[in-house]
Chains A and B, each alone.
Chain A
């Protein structure tokens, strides 16, 4: 079952614009993570935000977490063509710290 659900499913922007992707989840979490996947490749971890944090930054990435709404957002500022990829949120689910489940992802296309 999918724990996280990202929206939008697809997002197309111009280089230099900001891209915002959202993730909603169903059960309580210890942390929420965002990953990136280039076409046909494995996923790469981008950033983690813990349940007691509300906002976190890493370079051009900004993640927010609202545990009351069970939602998170990933903002990529000043996007580049190289940011074109699929982005997934991931959480531990089912009360287990071992199971890591992913949403369906947002396909981001940054046009040069």
Chain B
């Protein structure tokens, strides 16, 4: 069966520090991968999605970047965090080619102080 791992669960980082959040998927090949951010009490904002290794689509220009160095690995990064980067970050995957259902990781609560 397929599983998705996202870590860490919580993270407190000072302003100006770098960020690296990792997401890995097991049990499937060539998944579509997604990074979302959720502000407190709000909906999900799509940040990046990837349909293959090295293929990243950015939805919102901002202080973050994403990379997909391996088929089932998706990394969210920042060189210098801002206070506004605080939020709940969620990784998700879908099967290739119109796989409708998305499967989510448990999320990372990032607080920038």
Chain A positions within 8 Å of B102 at CB level: 33, 35, 43, 45, 90, 100
By DSSP majority rule, is chain A's interface helix, strand, loop, or mixed? strand
Given the contacts A98-B49, A100-B34, A30 and B98 also touching, CB distance less than 8 Å = yes
Q: Report yes or no: A44 in contact with B88, Cβ–Cβ below 8 A.
A: no
Q: Report yes or no: B43 in contact with A104, Cβ–Cβ below 8 A.
A: yes
Q: Report yes or no: B90 in contact with A42, Cβ–Cβ below 8 A.
A: yes
Task: Give the interface of B toward A (CB within 8 A).
Answer: 6, 32, 34, 36, 41-44, 46, 49, 51, 57, 59, 88, 90, 92, 94, 97-98, 100-107, 109
Q: How many whole Å from B54's CB to the nearest CB in chain A?
A: 15
Most A CB contacts (10 A, CB to CB) among B44, B49, B104 go to B44
> Is A64 positioned at the interface, with any CB of B under 8 Å from its CB?
no
How far apart are the CA atoms of A45 and B107 in the complex, in Å?
15
Task: Give the interface of A toward B (CB within 8 A).
Answer: 2, 30-31, 33, 35, 40-45, 48, 88, 90, 97-105, 107
In the A-B complex, the 7 residue pairs with the closest CB atoms: A42-B104, A104-B43, A102-B44, A43-B104, A97-B98, A45-B101, A42-B106
